[in-house]
Chain A
């Protein structure tokens, strides 16, 4: 899915970042991200690669959105399941190719 779950960078080793997606930590590659990424930044990911460093000014509303999503029941919010699935796959779900 192209939901674009933002993850927070917690460590960087060369071109590999460890990114926290709501408690699930995944390796994400930094080869093609648009700007230099530092620990503490948020990044948007696609099939295991960071494709955008999300500007600080934009992150608040996006985080609030996902917080809201994850707080809700899957039954009440149909997209919560997707967000969880995407987090589990590091935004790398096999059907997330567009």
Chain B
């Protein structure tokens, strides 16, 4: 399905050479014109792609007919409020929680882990799954690793599980698996996305072959791209060409890290420890097979088995009016933009986030806020 050498012609590629970038932008213009419609929408599924697009103001160079939107590519943002509630409830029950730093301010139904911490709960920020093991070995008291992130990050969790955890460490998995969520988004009514730019790092693990069933189901092209500006531009050119040619296929534009089969050793670890299960992606939907749950043979390590997680004990508070107005879900589903939200930049800022998309540095609202509110100069120029 992929062309044999997708980078033919890009051999001399320097990842941000302006001459190449301009040539790439011209190629985008030609391909878009070739499609011949007044609007073409493509979706990427990666916070790092959005950061590079916003940082470099790439949208200002896109053809005016082209709209590139960010789908559910921020793992922190799609962690459901009920999953945060479980972490908060455990923390309030006196268990030490270890988690990645971005999770602290993500709102739960009632409070975030940072709020729980302010109330005296013991929350530890870690940078690597291995640090959860070190923490548990040091503390000797019950520690729960609130494990979030996509498959790339879940592989690290799988590795510590296979290595053997200290007795006092258990896992609260909120890991998510991207391919099933792409199916849900591709089937969203009202969404007119004609192709997907897939994230290079998840594909480093899963291989680009994982997208082939998606392509046959939805007849939409998928291009795997890296994270440099020219990686992204080249990926978009390829995707536009596939749309123009009516050629639903998978093309790998990140061969320095991604192969068709991916990292088999990492996949083996991943699937030995986890099984797909239905999970709620915040603001999007219940995604069949969208979560990664610990397999039964690891039930003894599962915080959900080991502890009675008393979510009902969390103080009741009415959902605030502002939280009710958050449109994160529609933004991650690709139907709306941050600027469609009445709270964007006023009631909702990185200092006082209302929704998860404003918390994480990979969240669309946070990225747009950081780079001037509306990094889509194409609409202005």
Min CB distance, B281 to chain A, in Å? 14
Sample of 10 further A-B pairs with CB below 8 A, known A48-B128, A98-B150: A3-B48, A29-B130, A32-B159, A33-B266, A44-B204, A47-B100, A48-B156, A94-B100, A95-B360, A98-B202
Which residues of A sit under 8 angstroms from B129, Cβ to Cβ?
A: 47-49
Indicate if the CB atoms of B257 and A52 lie closer than 8 Å: yes
Which residues of A sit under 8 angstroms from B266, Cβ to Cβ?
A: 32-34, 51
Is B242 positioned at the interface, with any CB of A under 8 Å from its CB? Answer: no
Is B36 positioned at the interface, with any CB of A under 8 Å from its CB? Answer: no
Which residues of B sit under 8 angstroms from A33, Cβ to Cβ?
A: 263, 265-266
Interface residue ranges, A against B (CB under 8 Å): 1-4, 29, 31-34, 44, 46-49, 51-52, 54-55, 58, 61-62, 64-65, 78-79, 89-90, 92-98
Identify whether the interface residues of A are mostly helix, strand, loop, or mixed: loop
**Bound complex: CA of A2 vs CA of B46, how far in Å?**
9
Is B25 positioned at the interface, with any CB of A under 8 Å from its CB? Answer: no
Interface positions, chain B 24-58, Cβ under 8 Å from A, are 46-48, 51-52, 55-56
> Can you name 25 A-B pairs with beta carbons within 8 Å?
A1-B51, A2-B46, A2-B152, A2-B227, A29-B159, A31-B159, A32-B155, A32-B263, A47-B127, A47-B128, A48-B128, A48-B130, A58-B256, A62-B256, A64-B14, A65-B15, A78-B55, A79-B52, A93-B127, A94-B102, A95-B47, A95-B100, A95-B362, A98-B46, A98-B152
Given that A33-B265, A48-B128, A97-B102 are contacting pairs, would A65 and B14 also be in contact in the complex, using a CB cutoff of 8 Å? yes
**Bound complex: CA of A64 vs CA of B16, how far in Å?**
12
Which residues of A sit under 8 angstroms from B362, Cβ to Cβ?
A: 95, 97-98
**Bound complex: CA of A31 vs CA of B148, how far in Å?**
19
Indicate if the CB atoms of A54 and B256 lie closer than 8 Å: yes
Nearest residue, chain A, Cβ from B148: A97
Is B187 positioned at the interface, with any CB of A under 8 Å from its CB? Answer: no
Taking a contact as CB atoms closer than 8 A, the residue among B15, B127, B226, B257 that contacts A48 in the complex is B127
Is B73 positioned at the interface, with any CB of A under 8 Å from its CB? Answer: yes
